[in-house]
Structure 1
Amino acid sequence: MPRSASTLAFVESPVQLLNVLEWAHARGAAPEGGRLLAAIPNQPTREGTGRARTADPTPAPASPETPTGAEGGLRIVVLPPIDPMSRGQLRRMAALARDEGHEVRWQEARGGRLAPFKALAALARDVRAARTVVVGDPFSRYVQLLLTLVRAEELVVVDDGTATMEFVAQTARGERLVRWHRVGGGGLPARVRELAYAPVSATARRRFTPSAGSGRTVEVFSSMPVTPHGGMTLRLNDFAWTRDRFGPPRLTKGTDLVGTSLVETGVVDPDHYLAAVRVLTREHGATRYFAHRRESAEKLRALSEATGLEIVRPDLPLELIARRGPVGRTIVSFPSTVVHTLPYALAGTGVTVAVCDVDPEWLSAAASPRARGFLAGVTDTARDVHRLPAQAAPAAG
């Protein structure tokens, strides 16, 4: 078995893995690469007009542990979710990481009651030995459980999109780490689980607090408009690795729409979302819709039938897909991570990124009290994007 790496990264989504690669590049920790473009197919998966495809895109499992990185270097541990689209993109990103010379370990931690404990036992030695620990999702309960074992002098939180904004704000206020779209409830069983988990959550919050006495540092690596506090340091994620490895893209004459999982997370009403996409398609001459990996096949089929849009299921994070091209001269998105990341990834290409506000009337009855203000903040703080006029933010009809 390879010796423990001095730097250990935990990721649970394709975007988190992309941002670990960006962090390694920014820190000058990336080994010599240069083999990426030949390893990537030219086109993402497409779902044609009026139809949707739901096949599991996950290729045959890779070796659980592939020691391609230098001894004592960066080891990336992938803790994959269950859904097929995320797993497929993670496999693709893991291949890119290996091509960069990093070591990647695929560790199943879901899918059964004992799976988390088996994974924890398998990772405990490496977690205790690492001098730097990088995490992609500080809200993840599994990551928080791993943090109880951490002895590292340096803890790094890489971008997990808009969630990073909430993470920094909550730690500044000393609050419990809760995702912005989460709504309380679940009855007595849920409250019992919360009480049982409280010591783990409290330990995670302490780990995310820099300590001068112990010499522990906390760095946030982000494209989001966040302000570090209490000794935290901030390193800008400007997608230099992505720009160095891909593109510039060929531009098409049309407009591309970027999908969101706001319906799937219970924030936006499905009918209002469909109406908004229909109007945006008509007003901006959109021809393609880049689906979020969590969007359901039923929803995408309804969008395609109502608008005639070509539904595209990207096989990599959108920042890489857009940089590789072809891509529309205008990209329209609802408030989401990409209105912050795409201007960096597409800098100098001539692509305009536009953001359409979410009308408060679109919010579902299940939306959390934080939803309206949080989504408005995502739009208000976006840099180098075109904010669509109010009439482009339609109500359902």
Structure 2
Amino acid sequence: MSRRAGSAGHSTLAFVESPVQLLNVLEWAHAHAPGAELTLVVLSPTDPMTRGQLRRMAELAREEGHEVRWEEARGGPAAPFQTIGGLAGMLRRADRVVLGDPFSRYVQLLLTITKAPALVVVDDGTATMEFVAQLARGERLVRWHRKGGRPGPRDLLFAPVSSSARRRLTPGGNRQVEIFSAMPVDERPEGVTVTVNAFAWTRARFGPPRITKGADMVGTSLVETGVVDAERYLEAVRALARAHGATRYFAHRRESTEKLHRLVLETGLEVVRPDLPLELIARRGPVGRTILSFPSTVVHTLPLALAGTPVRVAVCDIDPAWLTDRASPRAQGFLSGVTDTARDVHRLSAVTAV
């Protein structure tokens, strides 16, 4: 039986749009609010892989005693209005709001409704690093892989909401803001509390894993987001797999079916579509003694989730020549920063196709 938020004083409302965000809300609750009344609102995307992982994560959240409210937030033109209207009362009553993606226009709209005195931002991968830096500098909230230059018409239309959300995420008066993150935070915004996500819930709930002799590779959606050229990426995966004896490729939930099909044909790797975030998959095992990755969130999170095991995480740099002409001018610097700031990882030079 799920606990109802708000039934015993303070109420916490969490909004998530991805499996990793939901995982990090569970980590936050385990570390900072054990036994607290928590309602998780899933603003469901349309992508089938993401939805499937979110369903599995929602089951785990219910097993932890949390209430989960699934919203078909993108189920047609009227869905956003129905979703926001249905959540307005809960937002106004909430004492604390936890959110996973401050760049999300959906979340920014919801922030204009709530008057909660406590706001918590949990990790949404490497985007958290950019969010913290932008908040510290007072800049508008823009995802790092977005093309530089002037804002488009939709950006201009949404600008007042985005500005309002940024103000809400800035501490002031009786409003407290916390960032709960496994990522490095170099530019700490004034007045913001930063606490470390050590993946204590993941380690307590799963594992330790059985470790195999070979290597596993972690996929990335850098091709799908227009940052890295598809041909260069496939060449790099093939060279890495050959050099390190990798046999399995854990696909990112946003990787296209066409790209993965080519990857199987050209590399011989077994493609695995995980049904949970990789931190949980690796902790459950079996997992390779070496995990190969390109610059991404997992080079920060996997060493924490696998702490106390002999598994080695190795990260391969992105060669600037792999970037597309559509990549943001900030892309190379940001990706290098992801690798440079990773702890407890083995760094590999960018590979060259042979």
TM-score w.r.t. structure 2 length?
A: 0.95
> Which residue does 1:176 correspond to in 2?
140
Shift of 1:191: 3.1
Shift of 1:29: 2.2
Within 5 Å, give how 1:124-135 maps onto structure 2: 124-135=88-99
State whether structure 2 residue 68 is matched by structure 1 residue 104. yes
> Which residue does 1:34 correspond to in 2?
none
> Which residue does 2:23 correspond to in 1?
18
> Which residue does 2:299 correspond to in 1?
339
Within 5 Å, give how 1:1-397 maps onto structure 2: 4=6, 6-30=11-35, 73-183=37-147, 191-211=152-172, 213=173, 215-227=174-186, 228-388=188-348, 390=349, 393-395=350-352
Q: Could you tell me which amino acid in structure 2 is paired with residue 394 of structure 1?
A: V
Closer, same or farther in 2 for the Cα pair 1:295/1:367, shift >3 Å? same
Q: Is the contact made by 1:258 and 1:331 (CA closer than 8 Å) also made in structure 2?
A: yes
Looking at structure 1, the residues matched to 180 and 68 of structure 2 have their Cα atoms a distance apart, in angstroms, of 20
Looking at structure 1, the residues matched to 148 and 81 of structure 2 have their Cα atoms a distance apart, in angstroms, of 26
Matched position secondary structure for 2:152: helix
Gaps of 5+ in 1: 32-72
Q: Is the contact made by 1:272 and 1:395 (CA closer than 8 Å) also made in structure 2?
A: no
Q: Is the contact made by 1:271 and 1:396 (CA closer than 8 Å) also made in structure 2?
A: no
Gaps of 5+ in 2: none
Aligned Cα root-mean-square deviation (Å): 1.4
Count matched residues.
347
Shift of 1:396: 5.0
Shift of 1:195: 2.1
Looking at structure 2, the residues matched to 395 and 170 of structure 1 have their Cα atoms a distance apart, in angstroms, of 34
Q: Is the contact made by 2:145 and 2:330 (CA closer than 8 Å) also made in structure 1?
A: yes
Q: Is the contact made by 2:316 and 2:351 (CA closer than 8 Å) also made in structure 1?
A: no
TM-score w.r.t. structure 1 length?
A: 0.85
Looking at structure 2, the residues matched to 336 and 3 of structure 1 have their Cα atoms a distance apart, in angstroms, of 34
Matched position secondary structure for 1:252: strand
Closer, same or farther in 2 for the Cα pair 1:243/1:120, shift >3 Å? same
Q: Could you tell me which amino acid in structure 2 is paired with residue 130 of structure 1?
A: A
Matched position secondary structure for 1:257: strand
Looking at structure 1, the residues matched to 231 and 259 of structure 2 have their Cα atoms a distance apart, in angstroms, of 10
Shift of 1:182: 0.8
What are the Cα deviations for residues 205-258 of structure 1, in whole angstroms up to 9, with x where unaligned? 0011000x2x10000000000142210001100000000010000000100000
Looking at structure 2, the residues matched to 27 and 104 of structure 1 have their Cα atoms a distance apart, in angstroms, of 19
Matched position secondary structure for 2:40: strand
Shift of 1:111: 3.0
Q: Could you tell me which amino acid in structure 2 is paired with residue 338 of structure 1?
A: V
Q: Is the contact made by 1:4 and 1:126 (CA closer than 8 Å) also made in structure 2?
A: no
Looking at structure 1, the residues matched to 189 and 169 of structure 2 have their Cα atoms a distance apart, in angstroms, of 11
Higher relative contact order (CA 8 A, sep 6+): 1
Q: Is the contact made by 2:5 and 2:39 (CA closer than 8 Å) also made in structure 1?
A: no
Q: Could you tell me which amino acid in structure 2 is paired with residue 16 of structure 1?
A: Q
Shift of 1:112: 1.8
Shift of 1:108: 1.3
Looking at structure 2, the residues matched to 28 and 373 of structure 1 have their Cα atoms a distance apart, in angstroms, of 36
Shift of 1:99: 0.3
Q: Is the contact made by 2:179 and 2:193 (CA closer than 8 Å) also made in structure 1?
A: yes
Q: Is the contact made by 2:148 and 2:329 (CA closer than 8 Å) also made in structure 1?
A: no
Looking at structure 1, the residues matched to 40 and 336 of structure 2 have their Cα atoms a distance apart, in angstroms, of 34
Q: Is the contact made by 2:5 and 2:12 (CA closer than 8 Å) also made in structure 1?
A: no
Shift of 1:141: 0.2
Q: Percent identity?
A: 72
Shift of 1:115: 1.0
